[in-house]
Each structure stands twice: as structure tokens, then as C-alpha cells.
Amino acid sequence: MKERVWQAVFLLAACICILWVVLICLFLFVQGVPAVVRVGLPSFLGGIRWKPGAGLYGIAPMILGSLYAAAGALALGVPGGLLSAVFMARFCGKGLYRILSPGVSLLAGIPSVIYGFFGLTAVVPLIRVLFGGSGKSLLAVSLILGIMILPTIITVSEAAIRAVPETCYEGALALGAAHEYAVFFVLVPAAKQGITAGIVLGIGRAVGETMAVIMVAGNQALIPGSPLRGLRTLTANIALEMGYASGLHREVLIATAAALFVFILGINGLLSLSRNRGNP
């Protein structure tokens, strides 16, 4: 009887989680699809001008801004995160690991607004001094997001590397491989599924970030012509304008959230594929 009761409790919890996802989907698409129909799907997704007062609702600059920001964050965060994971898994001593592991966990627990404040007071002025301009730019966003995704990539990649059977490493050594060669050419390729999962989760974190991006991006609804130009992401666009939007403007913002939701679902789909790849 006790097992049946707990089985029912767990089933209820799972059903509640699924119900919340379904309700979010229904709200976004029921509220957003009519606005997309009124504006026109090509004008909505492909339009390059966002001027609600003039009836122009093109979100292409925000889509590209989100993609550029995520790509910049990955370019800066993935190499450092992967090398840090390899160091912590196979090269780090126990004493140093006791310091680094809590540090990575602490980095994951810092609120987004703190990252944004750091970027606004340290990164933006540095970019302004070195390259000119206002400093609020794609480069600043990429640097901050690159730091923010480090804990995700490090934690998942380290767990994946540690999960590789030790016999793979010992076999490489038995064949005459050096320690570094065995790690980088045997263990890391064997853990590629878990590493890919960490990178995909990092993309989701970068695309979904709002507060830190608003503080350092410049929030210009334009396609950035260079890393030193400002930009606006999908999440920032919703957060900045939802407070005063009404009518069609509000519905289009909900449609923007639906487009972002679909994009995140696509990322989760890639994560599932990376996990199930090669499984029967």
C-alpha cells in the first residue's frame, strides 16, 4: 500500500509538471497566433523594423541579436569551460579541487542582476576605453554571457568525463599513450555526448537570459553591424515593452515569447538527440 501511495504521488507530480507546460503552450499560442496572422508571418519573422507606433512588428533584428549573443557566448565560454572541466576531472589535485568545485557552484548561484551590474560597471567602461563608443555592445553581452554559461558547461562536461570507464584510460596507457594524450584523445571523445549536452544547455542559458543582457546590450532594435554595436534580444524586447504595451502591440510581444519558446524547445530537442545518439 505504501508503494502504491508514493507511486500515485510521483505520478501526480509528473502530471502537474506536464500540465504547466501545456498551459504555457496554450496561453502563448492562443494569444500570439492571431497577432501573427494579422501582422503576417513573413513580416513578423523577416521584418527588420520594429516600430510599434507605426505598426511595424518585425522581430528579425531581435532574432539575429539573440543568435549573435549566444554564438559570442559560446565562442568565449566553451573553450574555457571544456578545458576547466578536463582539468578538474583528470589533472586537478584533491586539495585544489576542494576549492575549485565550490567556486564553480558559487558562480552558478550568482543572480543575473549581479552579472549585469558587473558588466555595466567594469566590462562596458573597459570596452569604451579600448574601442570607443558607448561600450554597450554585442561584445559586452558575449563576455557576460560567456561567464554565465561557464558553470553549466563545466559541471556537465566534468560529470561526462568522469563517467567514462577507467578501463578506457588504462588501455590507452597500456598501449604507450601519455597521460595528456589519453585524456584528450580517448576520454574526451568518449564523453562527447555529455559534453554536447552541456554546450546545448549553455545555449539555452544564453538565449534565455534577460536582466544581464538588458543592462549591457544597449537595447537597440537594429541588426548589429559589428561586435561594438548595440543590439536587442528577444527576451529583452519582451521585458522592456510588456509593461506599457496594449492591444496588438501586447499580442505581438506574446507572439515573440511563443517564437522564443519554440526556439528553446528546439534546443531541448537537440539535447535529447545528443543524449540518445548511438543508443539502440
Domain count, the chain: 1
> What is the DSSP-derived secondary structure letter of residue 149?
T
Residue 272: pLDDT over 80: no
Distance (Å) of CA 161 to CA 50, 184, 276: 45, 10, 17
Domain holding 265, by residue range, is 60-276
CATH number, domain of 72, equals 1.10.3720.10
Residue 164 CB-half CA count within 13 A:
28
Residue 276: pLDDT over 80: no
Is 226 among the domain residues? yes
Is 4 among the domain residues? no
Cα dihedral: 151, 230, 69, 108 (round 10) = 10
Is the pTM of the predicted complex or chain greater than 0.85? Answer: yes
Is 38 among the domain residues? no
Is 8 among the domain residues? no
Task: List pLDDT tens digits, range 11-54.
Answer: 999 999 999 989 988 988 888 889 999 988 888 988 889 998 88
Residue 55: pLDDT over 70: yes
Task: List pLDDT tens digits, range 67-120.
Answer: 999 999 999 999 999 999 999 999 988 889 999 999 998 888 899 999 999 999
